[in-house]
Amino acid sequence: MSFGISSMLTKLGALTNSDHAVVVSINIFVALLCACIVIGHLLEENRWMNESITAIAIGLCTGVIILLTTGGTSSHIFVFSEDLFFIYLLPPIIFNAGFQVKKKQFFRNFTTIMLFGAVGTLVSFFIIFFGAKQIFKKMDIGDLGLGDYLAIGAIFSATDSVCTLQVLNQDETPLLYSLVFGEGVVNDATSVVLFNAIQNFDLTHINIWSVLELIGNFLYLFIISTLLGVFAGLLSAYIIKKLYFGRHSTDREVAIMILMAYLSYMLAELFNLSAILTVFFCGIVMSHYTWHNVTESSRVTTKHAFATLSFIAEIFIFLYVGMDALDIEKWKLVRTSPGKSVGVSSILLGLVLVGRAAFVFPLSYLSNLAKKSTTEKIDFKQQITIWWAGLMRGAVSVALAYNQFTRAGHTQLPGNAIMITSTITVVLFSTVVFGMMTKPLVRLLTHPQKYFSSMISSEPSSPKSFIVPLLENEQESEFDLGPNVPRPTSIGMLLATSSHTVHRYWRKFDNAFMRPVFGGRGFVPFVPGSPTEQSVHLPRSPQQSIHQTH
């Protein structure tokens, strides 16, 4: 009996020590996050640095300190977890991207964005896959199969445009910003969908039908994931519009928006869909309908809550990548051939450069052929900026690499270790070196045309510019194109005309059917007793709403 009690106490003591170690680790990591924010703020005006590079640098310094204090046995506080990344860190980043996007610019350039984000990613995927397969087999880096090479293509097709987006201003360079931003989100979704499709692909029997099946599965995931996000956004708008939680508590409005957004992401994960696409389009729909159905205090709260969660998640990811770059366990497996590891990283960087150039310039040329207005065409300097923006690799590449080449953050195979260390090397080099050169390069290549004011944007009621009063007719409508715009008389003419015409028809459909049901700007009636100003929620006619900006 005494033996059993002592054994139980020993286990309890071990559990207590383990919990204490976790608490210590969390304290250190939170302190590092605070340091990243403070130092990033102090370096805000620096032409070379940004918060991503700052977080990586602090992570590297922390890894060195941990290596020294542990005698070279460890370099990180937490072990990387794909679940932590995909379930907790990625959703707020992608949702906020959709929630804050300027929808007018995004959908006006939707065709070009899809060309770059989907078709371009596939081109880059095939170039990296074939290049890696041909070169790495000759280098004998380990026992890598066809599935591994396909995964490498998907891993290094995932871009990270954070550094470029921190430099670009969507009011000064709206076309460039919308293309870089939109392509980045669609690219991440396409890469993850490709990666998941490869995992479920039967590599033992490859023929034309299996390839068509792969393409069909890819398109199915893409379309169904988008529809699920749109459905979740519309459902949240309908619930809030009908029940009007803000009459009694704005907290309930904020809570239902956050939970419905996260529910859309988890439902996509449950049904093995692309959760990135789902939560991105859920964010777009919520900003178009749901956000206008809540009270003013809830608008301010949700706007800042989503942005803050996204900001913390991004800093967390880059901080961890910096620390994990010095993980001694992985480097021990490749220490016998450091030259081979450097060679693999250099080849991957070269394939990324070639794969990026192989679609940016040809697809830009095709996109320009379909545009009549010179202001909407992508000039050569903008093409270089778009090419450069997608050269950096980030957290999605790291997460996919861990998913393919490790188990629970660890690996004992030299070939897998080389791929993990090479991925981290490529991410560090591209983020730090390319990221430091981004701000000077963008300033050199772009000559932004200043608009009236950064506060008076083309979307005065979008979440990013909520302070601007809801103007009646003072803003030029994106859909009020004047009497000289020709009306298409056939499908062929519709496809040949400017996308403004498509926007006009969408706005008419939106005003006639969607907004009366799901709410939105100008279509939310005033409810007595609500904390919202009556002037904001007075119902307006569809004719009045057409003259409002989106």
Structure tokens belonging to residue 356:
């990026």
> Is the CB of residue 111 less than 8 Å from the CB of residue 351?
no
pLDDT in tens, 99-150: 887 777 777 888 888 899 889 999 999 999 999 988 888 887 777 888 888 8
**Domain ranges (residues) in the chain:** 20-445
Phi, psi at 260, each rounded to 5°: -65, -40
Kindly report which listed range (5-14, 193-202, 269-278, 454-463) carries the lowest average pLDDT score: 454-463
**Domain 20-445 annotated CATH 1.20.1530.20:** yes
Residue of 440, 438, 403, 424 lying closest to 56 (CA atoms): 424
> Is the CB of residue 236 less than 8 Å from the CB of residue 262?
no
* pLDDT for res 315: 87
Residue of 223, 145, 158, 159 lying closest to 194 (CA atoms): 158
Task: Burial-class residue 114 by CB neighbours within 10 Å (0-12, 13-18, 19+).
Answer: middle
pLDDT in tens, 34-91: 998 888 888 877 666 777 788 888 888 888 888 888 776 666 677 767 778 888 888 9
Kindly report which listed range (13-27, 102-116, 380-394, 526-540) carries the lowest average pLDDT score: 526-540
* pLDDT for res 542: 45
Segment of 6-10, 114-118, 243-247, 469-473 carrying the highest mean pLDDT: 114-118
- Taking the C-alpha atoms of residue 514 and residue 456, their distance in angstroms, rounded to an integer, is 26
pTM value is 0.76
Beta bridge partners of 407: 410
* pLDDT for res 335: 65
pLDDT in tens, 205-242: 777 777 787 778 778 888 899 999 999 999 999 998 88
Q: Please state whether 71 falls in left (phi above 0), alpha (psi between -120 and 50) or beta.
A: left
Residue of 167, 174, 186 lying closest to 459 (CA atoms): 174
- Taking the C-alpha atoms of residue 158 and residue 40, their distance in angstroms, rounded to an integer, is 25
Residue of 363, 369, 391 lying closest to 112 (CA atoms): 363
Kindly report which listed range (65-69, 85-89, 177-181, 472-476) carries the lowest average pLDDT score: 472-476
Buried b (16+ CB within 10 A) or exposed e, 359-370: bbeebbeebbee
pLDDT band, residue 470 (cuts 50/70/90): very low
- Taking the C-alpha atoms of residue 241 and residue 292, their distance in angstroms, rounded to an integer, is 9
Greater model confidence, 332 or 423: 423
